[in-house]
Chain A
Amino acid sequence: MPDYTLRVNGAQRTVRTDADTPLLYVLRNDFELNGPKYGCGMAQCGACTVHIDGRAARSCVTPVSSLAGKAVTTLEGIGTPDKPHPLQKAFLDEQAAQCGYCTNGMIMAAKALLDSKPNPAVADIKNALNGNLCRCGSHNRIVRAVQRAAGVKA
């Protein structure tokens, strides 16, 4: 098995695995990051969303070998418990979850939206998150959290 060196949340990390290993398992198991979640393994639900060079990507279908020279950012990389990202704070302020399993994907997809469109309309938010599934029915709270975060300077 070859070694792959990745830039994750600003740090160089190395992993020895097969070329086709999905990034998701490397992040969760080798780097012990909890943010990205396994939901479907088929890029259908968005629970595993991370950023690759600033763009939202589904880590469950991203081979580790495709990431040379690219920057991977996870939920842990956008803010810390002491210095939360405005989206993380807004999700708490709006209590925008029930079980919280989809929350990682919602925040990461929303961050990609706000990075490119800081003042989105409600329709923009819904469209940006439409590929992220939530089963508990927290959608309206999530939209409000994104709106709230958009009103805050990152």
Chain B
Amino acid sequence: MQTTLNTNRRQFLKRTGVIVSTFTLAGPAAVVPQTVAPLPGGLNANRMLDGWVRINSNNTVTVFTGKCEIGQGILTALTQIAADELDVTYERVEIISADTARTPNEGMTVGSFSVEQSGAALRFACAEARAMLLAAASKKLNVAMEKLSVNDGTISASPARMTYWDIAKEVNFKREATATFKPKPAAQHKIIGKPVPRRDFPAKVSGGAAFVQDLRLPGMVFGRVVRPPSYRATLQSVDEAAVKALPGVITVARDGNFLAVAAEREEQAIKAAQALRASARWTEAPDLPPSGGAFFDHMRKMPARDMVIKATSPATASGGKVTSVEAEYTRPYQSHGSIGPSCAVAQMKDGKLQVWTHSQGVFPLRAELSRALRMKPADIVCTHAEGSGCYGHNGADDVAFDAALVARSLNGRPVKLQWMREDEFAWEPYGSAMLLKMHALLDESKQIVSWQHEIWSHSHNMRPTSNPDGIAFLGSWHLTDPARRPTPVNGPQPNGAADRNAVPLYDFPRQNVLLHFITDMPVRVSALRGLGAYANVFALESFMDEIALAAGEDPVAFRLKHMKNPRARAVIEMAAEKAGWKPNAKNYGAAPNIGRGIAFAQYKNLACYCAVVADVTVDRNGMAKVTRAVAAVDAGLIINPDGVINQIEGGIIQSASWTLKEQVKFDRQRITTRSWADYPIFTFNDVPQVEVHLINRPDERPLGAGEGSQGPTVAAIANAIANATGKRPRDLPFTPEKIRALIV
């Protein structure tokens, strides 16, 4: 990655991997024998030390990660970790990411795992590399290791000194890591914990080449796809000849229901795609489910596999009188809404395929391309290049497959294929609609004694390699010989997927969580930031509020009464204090109505702890506006405080937008969300003031924070609207129509 403002094309190509270097890459996790001792994080499946760190001859260091930059700042944070463990300055470290030809295979960049997995690997690999360099220097200088000190790669034992770069030739990293060299304690960190500026920003503010969209290769042409008008439409006829005759058109690809074009110029490709679309005749059927409220009645009846996620002893009353409480909550299909439609560059030359992609997993993408195109993985290189923020599985992998298909008919010329806005909105996989049914029993001391959480949901992971019984690419389902769609699989606890964060962290003595996992997908779905956590935390934390209010107890005190976990308590208490929480305050009745709500979750019950307090106003037309959000976050050892704040703050704003505005629309035949006019999101005038307060725990391991605020935000807003109006919103999004219906 570039650290200066000057990012030219050659540097871009170098960064994104045209220049292939030659060192060892460990095989996939499956080939590691079971008897081998486990290594930390990504090291376990990528055990060769030289796959992670290399001392260059020009007084620099290169480190490698299988994780990729998706706007979350991971490459900056990982570089901080490497620099600190190696005792070199941040500026000396170059980082190479997510490239099947050059980096470790760390699977997908998902689940807020990157600092935990790749960070752990780099901490141990760099600590070991440093120890090896010191051992070599000790021998050379004939000075005991413990008498050596290191400052920016210079090893000193007064008066003798030498540098990493002097000694590097004598140290062989071409061996398995042992992870026997302990990373530094927090007290010795110099760069970890500092708000180091993002290394990718200088190019982005000045027009440097920063995105896959900015990649230009010699002889490159431009591609576009023409999708069917609806999911299961079939192509009857299309005038390929007329489109082939248009200026600049190089190829018109037609294979079953798959249509694409390539042209010399981008605007020619767009015009050709428009002409192709205009001439295509399709057969369609009204095969989509009903939308709006009727959808959820339909959803409840869809065939589902029932999975018991958690079951403690049956909810029986233990003598005393109990109060039973029930409520249902819904969340519609929601879009990733990436600002830049998905894009890839592909080149097929001499039987080898090279793809530049903003996929979140270059290795899974390669595996899926290999099966879909019937090519050997060794003949495919997938190299990550940034796209616009994705927030999960958008069109990134699909467009890589589209580009590869088109590249096959271009005689070695590379093609840049970008989806149009409409392609992205209508064809990307959405976050699943969900229905949550909650039930609780409250005893006479107003303590929750039983908790039941029932989920109806589609899959939250239809990514490449999610299930090898099928192919995950949209385009592959449209071919004459269509690929089978992967059978949906729910990711298991403790991370969970549809059931993510459905198991309460509260100390309820009886907890039952049941998932009705719907395997049909009449509307295309996959991973959206937080997976099921957004809706599950919405239901769980709204329901906590409902019960607290029914019991006449303050929402903050009621939560603390049921929570022993000290780190959870600390963020709840801090968010309440920083927001100026007033116990039992009832703000409603004023005009415009003002309300305040709180909610909490530890993301996945494994990653960062986050509590959010939201302030809202609700006008008489039902228009809710979030005016302020205050968050408290515990992400263990913080690598980059500004990075964590940026993620939590951005997550709050995005989640608030989902909550108040967003739902994918469809009629019985077609997805009708096609442009931003059909799918409004937050704009500057909607955005609340946001404050994020961090609790740093230097002696705890780092916890992922990238998705930590999605769940608490929606529930805090719901609770604030209830506080403002005295009415409980349970169906997302909280549009003026829905809130008006509640308050009149």
* Chain A residues close to B by CB (< 8 Å): 1, 17-18, 21-22, 25, 28-29, 32-35, 37-42, 44-45, 47, 74-76, 79-82, 84, 88, 91-92, 95, 97-104, 107, 125-127, 129-143
The answer to whether A37 and B649 have CB atoms under 8 Å apart is no
Q: How far is the CA of A48 from the CA of B199 in the complex (A)?
A: 23
Q: Which of B200, B205, B340, B657 contacts A47 (CB 8 A)?
A: B340
The answer to whether A34 and B675 have CB atoms under 8 Å apart is no
Give the residues in chain A near B581, CB-CB below 8 Å.
Answer: none
Contacts known (A21-B267, A47-B339, A92-B197); A139 close to B207, Cβ less than 8 A: no
Give the residues in chain A near B191, CB-CB below 8 Å.
Answer: none
Distance (Å) between the CB of A150 and the closest chain B CB? 16
Q: How far is the CA of A79 from the CA of B653 in the complex (A)?
A: 30
Q: How far is the CA of A30 from the CA of B214 in the complex (A)?
A: 12
**Pairs A–B under 8 Å by Cβ, sample size 11:** A18-B267, A21-B267, A29-B222, A34-B208, A75-B206, A80-B5, A97-B205, A132-B684, A137-B650, A139-B653, A141-B649
Q: How far is the CA of A149 from the CA of B483 in the complex (A)?
A: 53
Which residue of chain B has its CB nearest to the CB of A20? B267
Contacts known (A95-B646, A126-B684); A81 close to B202, Cβ less than 8 A: yes
Give the residues in chain A near B654, CB-CB below 8 Å.
Answer: 135-137
Q: How far is the CA of A8 from the CA of B638 in the complex (A)?
A: 45
The answer to whether A44 and B677 have CB atoms under 8 Å apart is yes
The answer to whether A97 and B204 have CB atoms under 8 Å apart is yes
The answer to whether B205 and A84 have CB atoms under 8 Å apart is yes
Q: How far is the CA of A32 from the CA of B204 in the complex (A)?
A: 15
Distance (Å) between the CB of B445 and the closest chain A CB? 41
Give the residues in chain B near A138, CB-CB below 8 Å.
Answer: 646, 650
Q: How far is the CA of A97 from the CA of B386 in the complex (A)?
A: 14
The answer to whether A45 and B210 have CB atoms under 8 Å apart is no
Contacts known (A39-B421, A100-B201); A134 close to B685, Cβ less than 8 A: no
Q: How far is the CA of A33 from the CA of B204 in the complex (A)?
A: 12
Distance (Å) between the CB of B202 and the closest chain A CB? 7
Which residue of chain A has its CB nearest to the CB of B653? A137
Give the residues in chain A near B719, CB-CB below 8 Å.
Answer: none
Which residue of chain A has its CB nearest to the CB of B216? A32
Q: Which of B9, B71, B337 contacts A100 (CB 8 A)?
A: B71
Distance (Å) between the CB of B540 and the closest chain A CB? 23
Give the residues in chain B near A100, CB-CB below 8 Å.
Answer: 71, 200-201, 204-205, 210
The answer to whether A130 and B650 have CB atoms under 8 Å apart is no
The answer to whether B681 and A135 have CB atoms under 8 Å apart is yes
The answer to whether B341 and A38 have CB atoms under 8 Å apart is yes
Q: How far is the CA of A134 from the CA of B388 in the complex (A)?
A: 10
The answer to whether A136 and B207 have CB atoms under 8 Å apart is no
Give the residues in chain B near A133, CB-CB below 8 Å.
Answer: 339, 676, 681, 683
Which residue of chain B has its CB nearest to the CB of A79? B206
Contacts known (A25-B265, A99-B386, A99-B389); A135 close to B338, Cβ less than 8 A: yes
Q: How far is the CA of A132 from the CA of B684 in the complex (A)?
A: 8
In the complex, whether B282 has a CB less than 8 A from a CB of chain A is no
Q: How far is the CA of A21 from the CA of B263 in the complex (A)?
A: 14
Which range holds the interface residue count of chain B?
A: 35 or more
Q: How far is the CA of A98 from the CA of B9 in the complex (A)?
A: 22
Task: Summarize A's interface: helix, strand, loop or mixed.
Answer: loop
The answer to whether B685 and A95 have CB atoms under 8 Å apart is no
The answer to whether B205 and A103 have CB atoms under 8 Å apart is yes
Closest 7 pairs (CB-CB, A-B): A81-B5, A99-B71, A137-B653, A137-B650, A100-B204, A101-B388, A99-B389
Distance (Å) between the CB of A118 and the closest chain B CB? 19
In the complex, whether B4 has a CB less than 8 A from a CB of chain A is yes
Give the residues in chain A near B391, CB-CB below 8 Å.
Answer: 135
In the complex, whether B72 has a CB less than 8 A from a CB of chain A is yes
The answer to whether A136 and B677 have CB atoms under 8 Å apart is no
Contacts known (A34-B208, A38-B418, A135-B338); A95 close to B201, Cβ less than 8 A: yes
Give B635-647 as 1s and 0s: 1 = Cβ < 8 Å from A's Cβ atoms: 0000000100011
Contacts known (A35-B207, A133-B683); A40 close to B675, Cβ less than 8 A: yes
Q: How far is the CA of A50 from the CA of B413 in the complex (A)?
A: 31
Q: Which of A1, A95, A136 contacts B198 (CB 8 A)?
A: A95
Q: Which of B207, B247, B338, B690 contacts A76 (CB 8 A)?
A: B207
Q: How far is the CA of A98 from the CA of B200 in the complex (A)?
A: 10
In the complex, whether B104 has a CB less than 8 A from a CB of chain A is no
Q: Which of A34, A98, A139 contacts B684 (CB 8 A)?
A: A139
4 A-B pairs besides A34-B211, A39-B388, A135-B339 with CB distance below 8 A are A37-B339, A88-B206, A132-B684, A136-B389
The answer to whether A34 and B5 have CB atoms under 8 Å apart is no
Q: Which of A97, A102, A134, A139 contacts B201 (CB 8 A)?
A: A97
The answer to whether B206 and A81 have CB atoms under 8 Å apart is yes
In the complex, whether B328 has a CB less than 8 A from a CB of chain A is no
Distance (Å) between the CB of A95 and the closest chain B CB? 6
Residue among B197, B202, B386, B683 having the largest count of chain A Cβ atoms under 10 Å: B683
